[in-house]
Amino acid sequence: MIVKHRISFALWALGLQQYQTIVVVVVEVVVVVVVVVVVVLVIAVVVVVVVVVVVVVVVVVVVVVVVVIVVVVVVVVVVVVVVVVVVVVVVVVVVVVVVVVVVVVVVVVVVVVIVVVVVVVVVVEVVVVVVVVVVVVVVVVVVVVVVVVVEVVVVIVVVVVVVEEEVVVVVVVVVVVVTAATTTAAAVVVAVIVVLIVRQKTKSLWNSTR
């Protein structure tokens, strides 16, 4: 109403009262058009703002989802790598332990076998030495006993058969000397043989043990 009144006053002042209706209609149409345009612009702005907000939200959601997926993938890869490394380390440690145990067992077995062989060789050598020494001593003792018995028989025969004391004394002296010489020679022979045998067997034993 105020606008119409002002328009009427302006047209009256200009002497154009007959155009009042047309001017009012034109003004009202212009006002309606302006209002419609303003409303359309506001709606367009609201729609653009809503679209921008929706796009931003979608982009943010997509970025967050992508980041979460990347983080999950990285975590899974790291866990898999750590598990593989741990398994490899455990396998290597087990293999090393098994190898060390096998080597130790083999070394122990070899040492035990060597010790057993050395002990057997030593025992055999000692037994051989003892047997040889005993045989030599027995042979020498038998020889000495035989010689002594023969000499005693000779003395008895001489004493019984021969009457002269000088002959008996000579025979007895000869028998005693022969007996002493035989015994001494037998002792020397036994000692030399035993020394030679022990020396030879000691060298052989030393070479075998080494």
Distance CA(169)–CA(60), nearest Å, equals 144
User: pLDDT tens for residues 104-120?
Assistant: 999 999 999 999 988 88
The domain of 78 spans 2-209
pTM above 0.85, yes or no: no
Query: Domain tally for the chain?
Result: 1
CA distances, 83 to each of 78, 90, 96, 128 (Å):
9, 10, 20, 66
Distance CA(15)–CA(97), nearest Å, equals 120
- For tokens 């037998």, the residue is 186
Structure tokens belonging to residue 30: 């212009």
Least confident of 7-21, 42-56, 147-161: 7-21
- Residue 206 has a pLDDT of 63
| Residue environment code for 98-118, b if the CB has 16+ CB neighbours within 10 A, otherwise e | eeeeeeeeeeeeeeeeeeeee
Angle at which helices 2-14 and 20-161 cross, to 10°: 130
